[in-house]
Amino acid sequence: MKALRNPLERAINHGSAGSGVHHWWAQRFSAILLVPLTLWLVWTLAVLAGADYVAARDWIASPWNAAMAVLLAGSTFYHARLGMQVVIEDYVHRRALEVTLQILVAAAALAGAVVSIVAILKVALTG
């Protein structure tokens, strides 16, 4: 009797891609956001080439530049976390290891983003 069921009936209750579409869109959005931010970073590095600490500090003290740097740091770590999550889901088949790696990747991405953003804000606000 199972042979007579259509493919949809066979697929029901065999897992869900419930958050798959959201994850896909989040990854694409962060990638698109990183394009202009990376171009801004390249331009910034070209402008600041050979600059001393005081000039770089004055540059990052600008609200626009500080905001762009914070956005770049946050979106880079977020995009990296999303990418690593997909790799782990696709290629790690032992459940305990998968969960452990997901937690480590999330913690590392969060720590990297927080440290980067705090450093940017510290230099921007206090010099």
| Confidence (pTM) | 0.82
> Residue ranges per domain, the chain?
22-126
Q: Which architecture characterizes domain 22-126 according to CATH?
A: Up-down Bundle (1.20)
Q: What does the angle CA 32 – CA 16 – CA 80 come to, to the nearest 5 degrees?
A: 30
Q: What's 93's DSSP letter?
A: -
pLDDT along the chain (127 residues), means of 10: 66 63 93 98 96 94 97 98 96 97 98 98 91
Cα(105)–Cα(84) distance, integer angstroms: 7
Residue among 50, 82, 72, 83 at smallest CA distance from 119: 72
